[in-house]
């Protein structure tokens, strides 16, 4: 009887392994199908943004509940909405409304547009798919209490620098990370992609105004907010990007903000490509 029980257990374990592998393979195939269906303009940035590798590293799967921080015009939103599918839920989480007024030279029209984007998030999702995925938009300080502990993944893709930029003046980063920790399921994960500044004595503690942050500073901020680092990846690294303390990320493609009228400088920036980026995965710490 014991021998039969052992064989049953072994058989069950052997059967479970192919199912897991098949699920992973099916998810990868589904994601590739979503990526291939996009426009040539959207696909042109895949070589710098690596969406397939990034979402696989963040362990995003169809049917999950995902919060995307600062969705903007929706480059990643389009991928997520179609990949998560009709059983999934996608939340767009924007900065708190008062934060937009902290940006230098922010016009009233610009601030109004940024505020309106939160409520318009479901319409943005509908413009990308009619698959029936559930979608809502919130700011970090308006996430409904009933969503606490319900979210599988929170993604901060190039969204940390401004939270850090206004941390000293308004506590923006600590408030956002506290909100994220509350949203997550006990086994939920946070994925971060962020422009990376080389770590030197001069750049340690950079405030984010250049778009860049030091990787160790980002990790420390998460640890102090009650998270622990699960893994790091170099899938979004670009060793050609070696910014100095005064260099902004917007000097590079696609912005090219400092070289639009200087063909020689523009060519140099295009040769560097998009920014060097850290890719980090966190979970709630048990303590």
Query: Are 103 and 168 in a shared domain?
Result: yes
- Structure tokens that stand for 15 in this block: 């059967």
- Looking at every residue in the chain, the average pLDDT score rounds to 91
- 140 lies in the same domain as 52: yes
Q: Give the pLDDT of residue 260.
A: 87
Shared-domain flag, residues 83 and 99: yes
Residue 135 token pair: 């979608």
What digits encode the pLDDT tens for the residues 185-205?
Answer: 999 999 999 999 998 756 554
* pTM, entire model: 0.90
Write the DSSP assignment of 164-189 as a string of letters.
Answer: HHTHHHH-HHHHHHHHHHHHEEEEEE
* Separation between Cα atoms, residue 138 and residue 119, nearest integer Å: 7
- The CA distance from 97 to 118, in Å, is 9
Domain of residue 240, residue span: 38-284
Pairing of strands 134-139, 89-94: parallel
Residues 6 and 53 in one domain: no
Whole-angstrom distance, CA of residue 234 vs CA of residue 276: 9
Burial class (CB within 10 angstroms; exposed 0-12, middle 13-18, buried 19+) of 129: buried
- Strand partners for 153: 66, 189
DSSP characters for 76-124? HHHHHHHHH-TT-EEEEEEPPHHHHTTSTT--HHHHHHHHHHHHTHHHH
**Torsion angle, alpha carbons of 146, 147, 150, 153, to 10:** -170
Number of other residues whose CB lies within 10 A of the CB of residue 106: 13
Q: What is the CATH number of the domain that holds 240?
A: 3.40.50.150
Does residue 15 sit in the same domain as residue 46?
Answer: no
Strand, coil or helix: 53: helix
Q: Kindly state the average pLDDT of the residues 162-190.
A: 96
Q: Same domain, yes or no, for 79 and 21?
A: no
For 202-245, the DSSP string reads TTTT--STTS-B-HHHHHHHHHHTTEEEEEEE-TT--TT----T
Q: Do 238 and 189 share a structural domain?
A: yes
The size of the chain, in residues, is: 287
Instruction: Assess whether 187 and 55 both reside in one domain.
Output: yes
Residue 269 sits in the same domain as residue 144 = yes
Residues 156 and 218 in one domain: yes
Region label for 64, one of left (φ > 0), alpha (ψ between -120 and 50) or beta (otherwise)? beta
Sheet (strand 89-94) strand order: 134-139, 89-94, 65-69, 151-157, 184-195, 277-284, 227-233
Q: Is the pLDDT of residue 19 over 70?
A: no
Among 41-45, 202-206, 229-233, 247-251, name the one with the lowest average pLDDT.
202-206
Question: Mind listing the pLDDT tens digit for each residue in 263-272?
Answer: 999 999 999 9
| pLDDT band per the 50, 70, 90 thresholds, residue 14 | very low
Asked whether residue 148 falls in the same domain as residue 241, the answer is yes
Q: What are phi and psi of 255, to 5 degrees?
A: -70, -55
pLDDT of residue 207: 75
Average the pLDDT over 162-188 and give the result.
96
Tell me the mean pLDDT in the region 229-241. 98
Per-residue pLDDT band at 79 (split at 50, 70, 90)? very high
> What is the Rg, in whole angstroms, of the alpha carbon atoms belonging to the chain?
21
Number of domains in the chain: 2
**pLDDT for the residue 168:** 92
Do residues 48 and 18 share a domain? no
């Amino acid at each position: 009887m014991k021998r039969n029980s052992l064989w049953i257990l072994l058989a069950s374990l052997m059967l479970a392994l192919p199912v897991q592998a098949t699920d992973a393979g099916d998810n990868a195939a589904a994601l590739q199908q979503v990526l291939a269906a996009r426009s040539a303009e959207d696909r042109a940035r895949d070589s710098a943004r690596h969406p397939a590798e990034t979402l696989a590293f963040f362990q995003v799967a169809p049917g999950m509940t995902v919060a995307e921080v600062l969705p903007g015009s929706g480059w990643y939103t389009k991928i997520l909405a179609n990949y998560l599918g009709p059983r999934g839920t996608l939340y767009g989480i924007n900065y708190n409304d008062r934060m937009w007024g902290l940006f230098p030279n922010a016009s009233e029209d610009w601030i109004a547009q940024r505020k309106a984007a939160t409520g318009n998030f479901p319409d943005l999702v509908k413009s990308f798919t009619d698959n029936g995925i559930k979608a809502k938009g919130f700011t970090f300080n308006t996430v409904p209490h009933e969503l606490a502990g319900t979210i599988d993944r929170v993604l901060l893709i190039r969204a940390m620098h401004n939270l850090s930029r206004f941390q000293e003046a308004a506590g923006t980063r600590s408030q956002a990370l506290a909100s994220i920790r509350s949203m997550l399921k006990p086994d939920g994960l946070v994925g971060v992609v962020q422009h990376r500044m080389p770590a030197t004595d001069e750049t340690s503690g950079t405030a984010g105004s250049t778009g860049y942050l030091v990787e160790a500073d980002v990790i420390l901020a998460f640890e102090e907010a009650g998270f622990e680092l699960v893994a790091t990846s170099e899938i979004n690294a670009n060793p050609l990007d070696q910014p100095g303390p005064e260099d902004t990320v917007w000097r590079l493609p696609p912005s090219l903000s400092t070289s639009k009228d200087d063909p020689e400088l523009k060519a140099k920036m295009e040769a560097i490509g998009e920014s060097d980026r850290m890719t980090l995965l966190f979970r709630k710490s048990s303590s």
